[in-house]
Structure 1
Amino acid sequence: MLLLCLLLLSSFLVGVFLWAVCQHFLTADIPSTLQHPIKLRFLHCMFLYMVILAEIFEKLGICSKLRFLQLLQNGVRVKRDARLVVTDLYLGTTPVRLFQPKAASSSPRRGIIFFPGGGGFLGSLDSYHNLCSQLAVETDSVLLLIGYRKLPDHHYPCIFQDCLNTSILFLKGLKTYGVDPSRVVICGDSLGGGNVACVIQHLVGRSDLPRIRAQVLIYPVTQVINLQLPSHQQNRNVPFLSQKIMMICMLKYLVVNFHWWDTILSGAFIPPDIWRKYSKWLSSDNIPKSFRKPGYQPEFHGPFNEAAYLENKHLFDITNAPLLGDDEVIAQLPEAFLVSCENDVLRDDTLLYMKRLKDQGVPVMWYHVEDGFHGSLIFFDKKFFFFPCALKIINAVISYITSI
């Protein structure tokens, strides 16, 4: 009986994996500029395999889809670095992980506040531990990694609130951690990068807090309004952030009814007067022509659906679209280091935000990775699953932070 159960289980798992492989080859685009395409295909098949298993377990009532994926994420191996003291603690009610170099320093060190990505449901302290260890060691900085609240229990605006409140508490206690108040950098990737932009804007004018020295945004989310930009069209089926996954994460976190999927994707929820006001920042006309590949169809916003707008006005909030910040606020932001990947659905979010900052006189350094893809940074230390683009990104970030 046990043998029969094992055979049935094995057949089930093999069948699910074969279905995942079929899904990959039917839906995924692997751009020619990507290095190690076979490795990427394998990883994407495994990703789809886990997602399909999660969906099956949810339908069977065994475990919710998001919790299953979070459980798998928690299996990431955490590397201990003898050069660091790592402490888990709480700032307010938010769990954080503090990385402090052991070596003595004659003066206060640089500080880094890091917001992880993960689509609103991934991005645990453990999954970002190795990356933050590397940043802390290589830049000789005290680094604070923030473990904000996530789906499925928490929704908008919890992530922004946790990032903002925890940053404020850290900034008020810099002396406790041996951090130089004039050398604090806020850094994040993907959703975390978008929250860097939001938090930085909300800290402008706070005379009771140290001024942030710089912001580092790695393939960030800077708006959720124009989803017909060139990169959204060109890279909509590129692993690991396809347009479908992006939409699912966005709608779930922002508590948007899936009924509005097509309306939001097409831009029909944008009132004509609001588009006229913000198109100077949101339009694909702001994207350099070199990034518009043949076959790109310019965005078409219409016919306007007022019901969709009224239900989803929060998509225009600055906490969801820092690109729409006031000129007076943008002009006061600290210098920025922006990272974009060519094969990323969010590539143009970075390009739009770069132009927005430059137009207001904010110093910007931009690093574009031709063979990069969304989420690649997390693979920087994964040995067999290592991608050169990941090392390029982390080395560029380290080089920038150590230069300021």
Structure 2
Amino acid sequence: MKSAAVVLAGLLVLAAYYVYLPLPSTVSDPWHLMLLDASFRVAQKTCNLAHSLGLGHHLRLLNFVICSFDKLNTQSSEKVKITDIQFDGVEVRVYEPSTGGREKTLRRGVVYVHGGGWALASARGGYYNNLCLIMAESLDAVIVSIEYRLMPNVHFPVQFEDVLHATKHFMRPEVLAQYSVDPSRVAISGDSAGGNLAAAVCQEMSQEENITNRFKLQALIYPVLQSFDFNTPSYQQNEVTAILPRFIMVKFWIYYLNGSYDFAYSMVANNHTALDVSQVGPFREHLDWTFLLPSRFRKNYQPVTPSAGEAEIIQALPALLDVRAAPLLAEREVLRLQPKTYILTCEIDILRDDGLMYAKRLEKAGVEVTVDHFEDCFHGCMIFTTWPTDFSAGHRTRDSYIKWLSQNL
């Protein structure tokens, strides 16, 4: 009995050691966040082990685990009609608020692109289904949530092209009319990797002359916008933080661009954009965070710019410099064509500075931008609003985001 108690105590200590993660004192619901992060790490490690045993690709296995859990949280509403359909061959889920017996009038519309590192989650899963339901009800808007194809089945630029094709289909005059959507009141939005795709598609469509209808707004939630510098202040500050540590983000980029895992450690050190890598020179000023970030975000962090690096990484992964993958690299002439923009950022997030730098570059190009920054919130929090992943951070960020859309769309 005594030995069993000792073993149990030892296991509890190990469990506590694994769960504990140093977090800023400002973070809301710290222990809840640590438990969520520990669960995610266990799932990742288990799927990595299964991958090494030849039981399946770890990303596919991880997505199966996430989507299986996600289905438990799926909600429905009698006030919103949900339809699964294809737009130009791409699967989408459309949310249409009921008319409530009144005469059908033109509504607002939002194209939403879910996050998940271009590899995880689903428009049909509980987290994003619940978000889009609330958006449809709160905004009295038609929401089109795009179920783009994921890694490892496809890689860049397929995800971008899926979102582009589905969005262009929805923006056709006859399709907007079919859903009673006002062509002058449509936004494109997305979170994390979905924010990446939303920004890239918005840039692409802003340059096409033959498009009849254009977006009134874009709303980007903690977007990932560049793979040029993995040592911005937010990457350095949150290197090992919850949900999305730096090394995991670097691996997501490598998988997205169908590259070699061998590049990971070198990219973490910014060797792919060293001073002697001539291909990156024209883009360097677009990501000069010493100029683009306010001092309160720069703090005392210093740029990491190796004098000598590995040009072979850019040669093997030229898409690292493709604006369809990294919208922050776009030229001023493209940025000035972008619509009124909302960018939500979280302090406890490696991607904080991606959003802040994009906001500054858009402002310098003459675009009206609202930055909604949350000091106590973390990456991914906006979708965590139901048990057992119910965070105050999720409710506050979601409500602030929907409020801005309601006031501006």
Whether the TM-score (by the shorter chain) exceeds 0.5 is yes
Measure how far apart 1:45 and its partner are.
1.4
Query: Is 2:245 the partner of 1:242?
Result: yes
- Distance in 2, Cα, partners of 1:195 & 1:21: 38
Measure how far apart 1:46 and its partner are.
1.2
Aligned to 1:101: 97
Contact in 1 for aligned 2:250/2:267 (Cα 8 Å): no
4+ residue runs over 6 A deviation:
15-20
Query: Is 2:363 the partner of 1:367?
Result: no
SS at match of 1:74: helix
Q: 2:83 pairs with 87, 107, 111, which one?
A: 87
- Distance in 2, Cα, partners of 1:260 & 1:372: 31
Measure how far apart 1:233 and its partner are.
0.4
Measure how far apart 1:279 and its partner are.
2.9
Q: 1:217 pairs with 207, 210, 220, which one?
A: 220
When the two structures are aligned, how many residues end up with a matched partner? 386
TM-score by length of 2: 0.89
Contact in 1 for aligned 2:280/2:321 (Cα 8 Å): no
Could you list the per-position Cα deviations for residues 48-106 of structure 1 after superposition, in whole angstroms to 9, with x for gaps in the alignment? 12112212222333333222222222222310111100001111221110000012454
- Distance in 1, Cα, partners of 2:81 & 2:310: 54
Structure 1 residues 29 and 284, CA gap change in structure 2 (3 angstroms) = farther
Superposed counterparts of 1:320-335, under 5 Å: 320-335=325-340
Q: Select between 306-315 and 109-118 the one with higher mean Cα deviation.
A: 306-315
Measure how far apart 1:327 and its partner are.
1.6
Superposed counterparts of 1:26-175, under 5 Å: 28-75=21-68, 76=70, 77-103=73-99, 104=102, 106-127=104-125, 128-172=128-172, 173-175=175-177
Contact in 2 for aligned 1:20/1:46 (Cα 8 Å): no
Aligned to 1:403: 407
Q: 1:264 pairs with 242, 262, 267, which one?
A: 267
Contact in 1 for aligned 2:83/2:94 (Cα 8 Å): yes
- Distance in 1, Cα, partners of 2:372 & 2:163: 25
- Distance in 2, Cα, partners of 1:342 & 1:256: 30
Structure 1 residues 35 and 271, CA gap change in structure 2 (3 angstroms) = closer
SS at match of 2:82: strand
Contact in 1 for aligned 2:67/2:121 (Cα 8 Å): no
Contact in 2 for aligned 1:17/1:49 (Cα 8 Å): no
- Distance in 2, Cα, partners of 1:336 & 1:66: 32
Contact in 1 for aligned 2:274/2:308 (Cα 8 Å): no
**Which amino acid letter does the alignment assign opposite residue 97 of structure 2?**
P
Aligned to 2:3: none
Could you list the per-position Cα deviations for residues 213-249 of structure 1 after superposition, in whole angstroms to 9, with x for gaps in the alignment? 0000000011111111000000011110111211121
**Which amino acid letter does the alignment assign opposite residue 179 of structure 2?**
Y
SS at match of 1:144: strand
SS at match of 1:34: coil
Give 5+ residue unaligned stretches, structure 1.
Answer: 1-14
Contact in 2 for aligned 1:376/1:390 (Cα 8 Å): yes
Measure how far apart 1:174 and its partner are.
0.7
Measure how far apart 1:137 and its partner are.
0.7
- Distance in 1, Cα, partners of 2:348 & 2:394: 13
Give the alignment's Cα RMSD to 1 decimal.
2.0
Could you list the per-position Cα deviations for residues 175-222 of structure 1 after superposition, in whole angstroms to 9, with x for gaps in the alignment? 111111000000100011011111011111433330110000000011
Q: 1:185 pairs with 187, 192, 198, which one?
A: 187
- Distance in 1, Cα, partners of 2:370 & 2:103: 29
Q: Select between 198-207 and 361-370 the one with higher mean Cα deviation.
A: 198-207
Measure how far apart 1:148 and its partner are.
0.3
Could you list the per-position Cα deviations for residues 14-55 of structure 1 after superposition, in whole angstroms to 9, with x for gaps in the alignment? x99997764444xx4322111111111111111112112212
Structure 1 residues 140 and 233, CA gap change in structure 2 (3 angstroms) = same
